[in-house]
Amino acid sequence: MKEKRSLLWFKNELRLLDNEILFRASAKASFVLPVYIIDPAQFQPGKLGFPKTGYFRTQFLLESLTALKSSLQKLNADLHVFVGRAEDIIPQLVKELKITAVYASQEVGSEELATQYAIELQLEKFGVPIELYWQNTLYHADDIPWPINRLPDTFTNFRKEIEQESSVRKIFSIAEIAYQQEIESTNIPTIQDFGFTPALKDNRCAIEFRGGEQNAQERLQEYFWEKDLLRTYKETRNELLGSDYSSKFSAWLALGCISPRTIYNEVKRYEQERVKNDSTYWLIFELLWRDYFRFAAKKFGVKIFQRKGIRNKAFVSTNDAVLFEKWRLGEIGVDFIDANMRELLHTGFMSNRGRQNVASYLAKDYKVNWTWGAAWFESQLVDYDVSSNWLNWAYVAGVGNDPREDRYFNTESQIRKYDPKGKYVRHWLADNIDVSKNTHESKVIS
């Protein structure tokens, strides 16, 4: 029987626990080579002048890769990090190391799929398959109660049916890895290698995100068990300041430093040992939203990036670069919007409430091309996830999965409800701001 030699292509599953491609490859192969590939094109400036992957995303990625490399080394393995195009590097490694199978996670983004198809075509020449596994959603794609082209058009219908008809699969344990040092070890690039200057932490940040599986697990332990914050999650999740008003799991979920199923299992344990209430359900509810957007991205493909969105709806907007820059830099003159945009600019993070408000302002008040805003979030957010980001923007802009076509976030009412004393605004802007002037009408730039 021919020896099975596998290449394990890590992408957005930078963890050991509940990693099916690691589990499957290790079970079937006598040699496993863990690989991560950094494509320089993802860090180049785009047509709007900023890099596709900005400083905060890059830093978090490098931390996560460093952590994964260390974890693999503790298992007498290693992570080999290459800089270049995956469609060039993987076929070369397959040829040189006589690889017989490539293991990878299934993707939904159009760029990721294009890369995958290009690699598959090249590997056909060697008779080497890519074995793909669906990961990083709470519910497996094979377990949802519809074919993907019949995914419900609204989240509510999706949620009700999937909760009744589907179940969450068990997690995969950490596997032993059959690894031999057949190629030289590689170093993980530094932030300077991508043209960035290391930045000091902004002391105003809500939380210091540090990449890696261990940090994800520590946050889970802290939020659920040490601070007992899960019991009030639903009541606090729309707040704006501090580290504990929400779980902050999103960055680790985005790179797969932790899986949704791991979080789900911990919620269920918490419900048994502490309390089961609306808040415990609501955290799972948010994981379901994440699932829905990923399945919708699979269904609609490149439409999620287009101005007319998945509805193919005419959208009145302009490509006004001046207004966009004012919005991007937090200089439009509406304090509540500016404060949120400054937080994003200086930390790579913004609350969910803030994201909805600034997106609505750009798309509905300024009537500037919403895809520009989504692109800025893609560059800047430490927790960027292709499906959630682009479909959330389409949702707010009125060209996505929202059943309401006229959804609008009124800035004044949002301030009264979520920052009535101006605490958040003062935190991110000057201490002497006159909050009474924080009104929509008086500050809109026309």
Whether 319 and 369 have beta carbons less than 8 Å apart is answered as: yes
Does the CA dihedral 306-340-245-420 come out positive or negative? negative
259 marked as binding residue = no
292 marked as binding residue = yes
290 marked as binding residue = yes
26 marked as binding residue = no
For the chain, how are helix, strand and coil distributed in percent, rounded to 5? 50, 5, 45
Residues with Cβ within 8 Å of residue 419, at least 6 apart in sequence: 240, 336, 425
48 marked as binding residue = no
Tell me, what DSSP letter sits at residue 210?
-
Residues with Cβ within 8 Å of residue 332, at least 6 apart in sequence: 323, 326, 338, 341, 361, 366, 443, 444, 445
Six token digits for residue 75: 């298992």
Chain position carrying tokens 């930390």 = 347
Amino acid code (one letter) for 443: K
446 marked as binding residue = no
Count CA within 13 A, CB hemisphere, residue 410: 6
55 marked as binding residue = no
179 marked as binding residue = no
289 marked as binding residue = yes
Residues with Cβ within 8 Å of residue 210, at least 6 apart in sequence: 60, 63
Whether 25 and 121 have beta carbons less than 8 Å apart is answered as: no
384 marked as binding residue = yes
153 marked as binding residue = no
Reference 64, options 284, 165, 214; nearest CA is 214
**Exposure string over 406-419, b if 16+ CB within 10 A, otherwise e:** eeebebeebbeebb
278 marked as binding residue = no
Whether 363 and 397 have beta carbons less than 8 Å apart is answered as: yes
Numbered residues of the known binding site for FAD: 233, 246-250, 286-293, 383-385
**Binding site as annotated, residues:** 233, 246-250, 286-293, 383-385
